[in-house]
Every structure is written in C-alpha cells, then in structure tokens.
A and B are shown apart, each in its own frame.
Chain A
Amino acid sequence: AQSVTQLDSHVSVSEGTPVLLRCNYSSSYSPSLFWYVQHPNKGLQLLLKYTSAATLVKGINGFEAEFKKSETSFHLTKPSAHMSDAAEYFCVVSGQAAGNKLTFGGGTRVLVKP
C-alpha cells in the first residue's frame, strides 16, 4: 500500500525567508510524486511533479522539490517566501501498484508573516 506523511501540519515563516515543507512517502514501486497548492476558497493547483526523470524538480512560483529515494522523501522548498505563498500544500504519491490512484498527505498550512 502507498502512503504519504507530511511531517508538519503548520509552518510559519517570515516574508523573504526560506520555506521547507517536508514529505515522506511509501510506495511499492517507483512512484510518481506531486505537490499541489490550495489557496483559500480555491481548488487545488499543481505546483510540480516527479515522474522518474531528474530528481530535482522545478515548479511554478519559484518552488522546487528533490526526490530522494534512499530517504523516501520529496521535500518542497522555496528560497524566499512571498505573502502570496500563504496556502495549504499537499504532497501526493501515485504508483502503478495502486492503479495510478492518488494518495494525498494530510496537508501543511503555510503562514507567511510580514
């Protein structure tokens, strides 16, 4: 069975400082991994995806994530937080063993302080 654990339910950062959102996954086979963002009263938007190509993946809005198989992690980072980054972020895993169905983490809510 596949699973995702987002290690922090809430993260608070100051504007202009780095953001780190931690995600660990479990999957039987080589997984596909995604990060989605959900702004208040909005649907989810795909930030970036890893599908067995380069392990460092760049996404929209300056975010990037690194796939580390040995650590079963897919942490999301951004060098400098902006007020507009305040949102909830979901790490998602998908694997062929599960018919490519998605398993979502519980989410990390990011607060950006001015």
Chain B
Amino acid sequence: EVQLLESGGGLVQPGESLRLSCAASGLTFRACPLSWVRQAPGKGLEWVSGISAMGGEHTYYADSVKGRFTISRDDSKNTLYLQMNSLRAEDTAIYYCTKYAGQYTGNSYFEYWGQGSLVTVSS
C-alpha cells in the first residue's frame, strides 16, 4: 500500500522559512515523480511544484511560488521536501504530497495523496 506522510508544518511569521517533508513507503521511491499541491482554508486546490524521478533533475513551479519555494528529494531516504522561504500570509494552506502516475511529470495525474500538513503564516 502506498503511503505518503507529510510533516514539518506549523505556525510561522511572514518572511520566515519552513521545510516540509514527505516520507513515502509502499513504492519504488526513486522511480516516482512527485509533487506538492496546496489548499488554502475554505479554498480550492492549487498545484505548487513537481519533481522528476531518479534524483530529481527536473523541477517545476507555479508562478505563485517561483523563486521562493524549492522542491527536492532524497532517494536514499525515500523523502520529498519543500523548502519554503519568504513566506506570505497567502501561503497559508494544507500542503499535500502527491505521486504522479507513471514515470514522468508530464501528461500525468495525481495518483496518490498524503493526508496533508498545515502551514500557517501569520504575525
């Protein structure tokens, strides 16, 4: 059974940084492209970032986070990360770790979802 477990969320002030982690099990982690999707309280879903399999040579970002967030992975630890810098109030959301179907980040869909980790940016 595929399991994705996010951690690292919490309350931070505007301008601060936070790193989310997603520990994966039940899959061949290094072969899996992965992504982060977020959902602000009471709002819709927003794709945030994606990373290719096999070391994560290719990364992709939504315009809303480009230059502030960095996605990465450690295949030796079966863990996905999202480093979030210069956080803003509008980054407040539940952040879901997701696995793309197939081998690539393109022409795919979000096959598995974690339970999410809440990030709150407030002074």
Q: Do A and B bind each other?
A: no
- B residues whose Cβ falls under 8 Å from a Cβ of A: none
- A residues whose Cβ falls under 8 Å from a Cβ of B: none
